[in-house]
Structure 1
Amino acid sequence: MGTIKIFADSTCDLPSSWIEEYEIGIIPLYVTFDHSTYKDGVDLHTPELYQKVKELGKLPKTAAPSPADFIEAFAPFIEKGQQILYISLSSELSSTYQNAIIAGGEFDDGAVTVFDSLNLSTGIGLQVMKAVRAAADGQSVTQIVDLLIKLRPQVETEFVIDSLDYLYKGGRCSGMQNLVGSLLKIRPVIKVIDGRMTPAYKIRGSREKALDQLLNNALNLKSEMDNDLIFVTHSLADEDAIYLQKELQARTGAREVATSNAGCVISSHCGAKTIGILYTKSIQ
């Protein structure tokens, strides 16, 4: 067991097999329907989330882990003499980062380092995997944080939302926008910029057209890509994810193009069939 324990939260959307293989600690966020609260990825998984939304006709509320949750998760490893490096969901999107900072203050100086990914989903996961590999190579927490500071602005996160329904249910678009968007088959494209979810543009037409646009946007930057790892992350869009994975693998020469499933928190904001391509540009 290494002297550094890497933590992330459930919004990092890393494959469960990777989390187990690399011994990544995961702090779950919360998903609440009425008076029932679930831990993301522990008590509730994405297919069950969609079933509950269908039954209840409304979206859940999501919440950050409390400082106590972080303290409980970190303490056993600190007691073993390990240092904690926690890579959080963007501080622009959640109080998760701030709650981890509060928790870290309950331990000795240097025991817990909290790094703001300024991203979401596998935009966090890409940073986590860089940290895991750096720790395995014997780098210190300070060296890993220096690497992440350079890497963070190079993360490209872009995804297509298949339907405006969840944006409407979540109060992010009006009923008229939802109706018109559905009639015209408009699919919004979201990018993460400076830690925030930012509408980039809209694609009008078939889903195939949207997927090809997403793919071409990534391929247009392939000369700038760090070809170590590319993620195709999706919410119940397995066939489309496999299509994009194969195309990216063939046309970028990346060491690995991995698919991953979006968890409940990410899915509750975007809806089924949302799909994204996430990668890092090379550090200059």
Structure 2
Amino acid sequence: MTDSYTIVLDSTSDFPKELEEKYNIPIVLAKVIIGTKEYLDRVGISREKILDELINSEEKITTSQPSPKDFHDIFSKTLEESDHILYLGVSHKLSATYQNAMIAAKKFKGKITCIDTLSVSHGITLMAYHAILRKEQGMKLELLVEEIKEMIVNTRVYILVKELKYLYRGGRIGRARHFIGSSLKLKPLLHLVDGELDALKSVRGTKAGYRAMDKFVTKDAQEFGKFTLIGTYGNDNPKFKRLSNSVNKKLKPLKYLYVPIGPAVSCQVGPNAEAFFIAKIPEEAVDIYI
């Protein structure tokens, strides 16, 4: 491996725009399809527009992962100025995006290291931000790869889904689960298990969901010791913002962000979903956050 490398992401990372621009991160874009119209995630349709469509439109709304050619084009352009690429991809159990990246990577004869983060959205953001700081510190790629693999098993997510119909449309839960949850007015609190969405528990109402999220994130923080944290949302809800800021103040992470869920991911979890992502930071890496 070589010291000259560039970190590449796909748009299901929901990597914040200001960080993308600050660190010049190439991002391979998914597509959002509304009826017969197709838009590029992040750039072809605004987050506000997709949330409005999800709530008010009768059109069928779906997503499409980047093709191998989409990855090939970004990889090729990036390698014009860099010797190697580190691609941090969405879980292969949630999307075919990672497989398409692997197909494209094979054409570049060992110049691309692909890591399946077994995560999505801001779980990838936490890993990518860590990788960026380590790269700027001068860490060799092979050492960074091992550190990111350690982060993968120590990154957790809690997603409070307000409307089950979006998960149902996306094939994330079965028909029976959708019926039971809707009829009992239960809201699923989801987490990731080996890269796959699973129901951690069902809660009766948003307040109960917030209490559960606070409980699980606090437990993780106590276990991890040193960690980074993201609170994220579809439609910005003042009540969740207060919860997120309160959790930040209480737990004192090394890095905290309060940022939105991106358009493509919103299509899967709905316009009103809210989530916490938390990642353990190795003791030897704490200094890069100070």
Indicate whether the TM-score tops 0.5.
yes
Asked if the contact 1:119–1:192 (Cα under 8 Å) also holds between the matched residues in 2, the reply is yes
AA of the residue aligned to 1:120: V
Kindly state the Cα deviation for residue 85 of structure 1 after the two structures are TM-superposed. Answer: 0.8
The share of aligned pairs that are identical, in percent, is 25
Distance in 2 between the 1:45 and 1:90 partners?
24
For the residues of structure 2 that align with 1:81 and 1:181, how far apart are their CA atoms? 49
Which amino acid in structure 2 is aligned with residue 220 of structure 1? K
Question: Deviation at 1:48?
Answer: 1.4
1:111-130 matches, cutoff 5 A: 111-130=111-130
1:38 aligns with 2:39: yes
> Which portions of structure 1, spanning 4 or more consecutive aligned residues, are displaced by more than 6 angstroms?
none
What residue number does 1:242 align with?
241
1:81 matched to 2:63: no
CA displacement 1:186-244 (0-9 Å, x = unmatched): 11011011010111110013x22211221121112321235342001111134234213
Letter in 1 for 2:276: I
Per-residue Cα deviation, 1:130-176 (whole angstroms, up to 9, x for no partner): 11111111112211111111111110111100122323444556778
SS of match in other structure, 1:6:
strand
Secondary structure of residue in 2 paired with 1:98: helix
CA distance in structure 2 between the partners assigned to 1:172 and 1:99 by the alignment? 21
5+ long unaligned stretches in structure 1? none
Matches of 1:48 and 1:40, distance apart in 2: 11
Which letter maps to 2:197? Answer: M
The 1:98/1:239 distance shift into structure 2, 3 A limit, reads same
Q: Paired residue for 2:254?
A: 255
Q: CA deviation digits over 1:35-62, x for unaligned, max 9? A: 2111111112332123334454254222
One-letter amino acid of the structure 1 residue matched with residue 262 of structure 2: G
Q: Which amino acid aligns with 1:128?
A: A
Answer yes or no: is the 8 Å Cα contact 1:74–1:84 preserved in 2. yes
Conservation of the 8 A alpha-carbon contact between 1:89 and 1:117: yes
Bigger CA drift: 262-271 or 59-68? 59-68
Change beyond 3 A, Cα 1:24–1:238: farther
Residues 160 and 273, structure 2, Cα contact 8 Å, conserved in 1: yes
More moved, 176-185 vs 64-73? 176-185
Report the residue type matching 1:141 in the other structure: L
1:26-105 aligned at under 5 Å gives the runs 26-54=27-55, 56-105=57-106
Superposition pairs for residues 145-156 of structure 1, below 5 Å? 145-156=145-156
Structure-2 separation of matches of 1:39 and 1:248: 34
Count matched residues.
281
SS in structure 1 at match of 2:108: coil
Q: Could you say what secondary structure the match of 2:162 adopts?
A: coil
Kept in 2, the 8 Å contact 1:87–1:115? The answer is: yes
Whether the 8 Å CA contact 1:237–1:272 is kept in 2: the answer is no
1:131, 1:144 within 8 Å by CA — same for their partners in 2?
A: yes
Q: Which runs of 5+ in 2 are unaligned?
A: 284-290
Q: What do the CA deviations read for 1:222-275 (whole angstroms, capped 9, x no partner)?
A: 212353420011111342342133212221121222111111221111112211
Instruction: Provide the rounded CA distance (Å) in 2 between the counterparts of 1:107 and 1:37.
Output: 29
Equivalent in the alignment of 1:270: 269
2:194 matches 1:194: yes
Q: Determine the structure 1 residue equivalent to 2:288.
A: none
Q: Secondary structure at the match of 1:220?
A: helix
CA contact (8 A) 1:28 1:39 kept: yes
Alignment check: 8 A CA contact 1:227 1:252 kept: no
Which amino acid counterpart does residue 235 of structure 2 have in structure 1? L
User: 1:77-112 deviations in whole A, cap 9, x for unaligned?
Assistant: 211233211100111111111111111122242x21
Q: Which residue of 1 aligns with 2:287?
A: none
Alignment match, 2:16: 15
SS in 2 for 1:273: coil
Report the more deviating stretch, 216-225 or 162-171. Answer: 162-171
Q: Mean alpha-carbon deviation: is it higher for 174-183 or for 96-105? A: 174-183
Q: Given the superposition, is the C-alpha separation of residues 210 and 38 from structure 1 closer, same or farther in structure 2, using an over 3 Å criterion?
A: same
Q: Which amino acid aligns with 2:189?
A: V
Is 1:235–1:275's contact at 8 Å kept on the other side of the alignment?
Answer: yes
**In terms of mean alpha carbon deviation, does 120-129 or 58-67 score higher?**
58-67
| Aligned-partner Cα distance in 1 for 2:207–2:55 | 26
> Within 5 Å, which residues of 2 pair with 1:158-237?
158-170=158-170, 172=172, 181-182=181-182, 184-205=184-205, 207-225=206-224, 227-237=226-236
Tell me, in whole angstroms, the C-alpha distance in 2 between the residues paired with 1:260 and 1:247: 15
Cα distance in structure 2, aligned partners of 1:77 and 1:226: 36
SS of 1:105 mapped into structure 2: helix
The answer to whether the 8 A contact 1:159-1:191 is kept is: yes
